[in-house]
Amino acid sequence: MTNFFKLPHSFLEKFPGRRFSVIAICVMLTLFVGFLDYATGREMDFFLFYFIPIAISAWFAGIWAAVFSVLLSIVTWLFADMLSNHQPSSWLIEWRNAWIPGLAFSLAALVVIVIRKAFDQKHELNANLSETLLKLEEASNKRWLAEQEIIQRNEFLRHIFESLTHPFYVVDADDYSVLMANSATIQGGLPHGTTCYALTHQRSEPCSGAEHLCPMEKVKNTREPFTTEHIHYDKDGSERHVEVHGYPVLDNEGKLIQVIVYTMDITRRKQMEEELRNSRDELELRVRERTAELVRASEKLQEIPSKLIAVLEEERKRLAAELHDSIGQTLAAVKFWVEMALKLRDAGDSNAALNHLEQFVPILHRSIEETRSIYMCLHPSMLDSKGLLSTLEWLRQECMKLYPERHIELEAGIAEEEIAENLKVNIFRIVQEALNNIAKHSKAEWVGISLTKNGGGIELVVSDDGVGMDLDIIMQTGAAGSLGLTSMRERAELTGGSFSIESTSGEGTTIRAFWPMETEDQLQKGGIT
């Protein structure tokens, strides 16, 4: 009933100040109908016209205005009716009959109010329906926008997911099945229910052991990210070294439901590490070998002073023997012949004395030649005056005089000015020492000496057809000749060259020394004399 008296009136709600205007109009209209009813003397029935202000009040002004309009209409109708009859006795009758129009007026007002209520409810229902539809449409639009945003985000995430060049996949924490994977993980789609260990290891059971520690088990136990290294197999079955990263995915209750896994191919890195280890091992081996070479070189350097002392002592003995056997005997003979000549002169036999003096002149000449030979061996002066090539020719001739049974050939394929000054004396000493060894040990009948330009450098070759030698035995035992070979090698290497010996027992020996001519500095290295 309360709601009935609180009917919504859109007209009055829009225009609340007009309620009294409507009531005033209805009052005036009711009074006007009553006046017409009175003025006509009821010759015309104006009863129905009273419904007009009642309906207007009920429709536009509300229920209380309708009640007021009904009461006003009843009173107006009574007064109009009584005044038009002019018979006081009939007033009581009119008052008694007033309930009939009152009931009619009330029913009319009630009908209008009910219709108005129905109209307002319909209007309100339509308004609510429109508002609901508007809200539904707005909600639908928001949902559509949200769906579009979700679709765009999913598409964006999918693009990111697919743009990763390394395998990236999501694994169910319960059965290890791969829920989703990018194209880098597998080409051509992934069969439903495929497990991670079947995908990457081609196995029928989860990974285990120290070599293949399972990241799933590790993440499940610790609920923290985990990284390890595995050997995976690609679609061709080839082994690939990979670095596996696992990240836990927890639900709202903190339960592990999924594990995000991505792998990075480190095969090339492993290969480089292996190459680095091999290089390091090879370097260590070379360092050990080089260290051993340096130790041997150091031992050789420690032996050089004693060998040099031995060489000097041997040279002194040789010079002493030569001086004793040649110059000493010659001087003794000269002394004898001079004393004989003096005795003959004192005896008055001048002719005999002169004959004795003439006989020791050849002896003096031979002594002079022997002296020249000795100092030529010590340092040939013609090396400074005439050059290396002429000195080598002189050495060849001298050796052939001493050993006429041995034929010696000399080939010079280089100009004198192309040989560095500091290199000349060393080449001469190497040839001299080689001829010395040949004379003492080789029993050769033919000896060849070659000094030429070859391969951008100076090459010296001394070869013979002698008995040859076993180099290993000679160098290890220090047999005769080993000191000379060492001396030749050191002369070549100390002047920036290289030295080699080729010899086989019964087939002769070949000695080679080579000095590069790449720079003037190399040619100007100091040598030993």
Range name among 102-111, 258-267, 273-282, 327-336 with the lowest pLDDT average: 327-336
Query: Residue 19: which pLDDT band, with cuts at 50, 70 and 90?
Result: confident
- 512 vs 454: CA distance, rounded Å: 12
DSSP string for 110-176: HHHHHHHHHHHHHHHHHHHHHHHHHHHHHHHHHHHHHHHHHHHHHHHHHHHHHH-SS-EEEEETTT-
- The pLDDT of residue 357 is 66
Count CB atoms within 10 A of the CB of residue 492.
Answer: 24
In whole angstroms, how far apart are CA 415 and each of 380, 411, 445, 451, 521?
20, 12, 29, 10, 19
Look over the chain and give the mean of its residue pLDDT values, rounded to a whole number: 75
Q: Which residues pair with 516 in a beta bridge?
A: 457
**Contact present, 54 and 69 (Cβ < 8 Å):** yes
Containing H/E element for 221? Answer: helix 215-222
Residue 367 pLDDT exceeds 70: no
Residue 151 pLDDT exceeds 80: yes
Domain layout of the chain by residue ranges: 4-134, 168-265, 387-529
* Residue 278 identity: N
Backbone region of residue 291 per phi and psi (left: phi > 0; alpha: psi in -120 to 50; beta: other values): alpha
Q: Give per-residue pLDDT as tens, 77-133.
A: 777 766 766 454 455 555 556 667 778 788 888 888 888 888 878 888 888 888 888
Classified by CATH at the fold level, domain 387-529 comes out as: Heat Shock Protein 90 (3.30.565)
**In degrees to the nearest 10, what's the CA dihedral of 381, 384, 387, 389?**
40
Which residues neighbour 107 within 8 Å (Cβ) at sequence distance 6 or greater?
A: none
**Contact present, 11 and 21 (Cβ < 8 Å):** no
Q: Give per-residue pLDDT as tens, 44-74.
A: 566 777 788 887 887 887 788 788 888 887 7
SS3 411: strand
Per-residue burial over 356-392, b = 16 or more CB atoms within 10 Å of its CB, e = otherwise: bbeebeebeeebeebeeeeebbeebeebeeebbbebb
Look at strands 178-181 and 226-233 and give their pairing.
Answer: unpaired
- 172 vs 220: CA distance, rounded Å: 11
pTM given for the model: 0.39
Count CB atoms within 10 A of the CB of residue 224.
Answer: 10
SS3 208: coil
> What are the backbone angles phi and psi of residue 464, rounded to the nearest 5°?
-145, 170
- The pLDDT of residue 325 is 58
Residue 141 pLDDT exceeds 80: yes
Q: Give per-residue pLDDT as tens, 460-487.
A: 999 998 888 766 655 555 444 566 777 7
- 22 vs 10: CA distance, rounded Å: 14
Q: In this structure, what token pair is assigned to residue 441?
A: 């040990």
Q: In this structure, what token pair is assigned to residue 437?
A: 């060894």
Q: Give per-residue pLDDT as tens, 182-206.
A: 777 776 566 676 787 777 776 767 7
- The pLDDT of residue 117 is 83
Question: How many distinct helices (H) and strands (E) make up the chain?
Answer: 18, 10
- The pLDDT of residue 209 is 62
**Contact present, 202 and 234 (Cβ < 8 Å):** no
* Superfamily grouping for domain 168-265: PAS domain (3.30.450.20)
Count CB atoms within 10 A of the CB of residue 36.
Answer: 13
**Contact present, 98 and 52 (Cβ < 8 Å):** no
- The pLDDT of residue 451 is 92
Q: In this structure, what token pair is assigned to residue 132?
A: 């609901």
Which residues neighbour 388 within 8 Å (Cβ) at sequence distance 6 or greater?
A: 416, 419, 424, 427, 428, 451
Q: How many CA atoms lie within 13 A of 163 on its CB side?
A: 6
- The pLDDT of residue 395 is 84
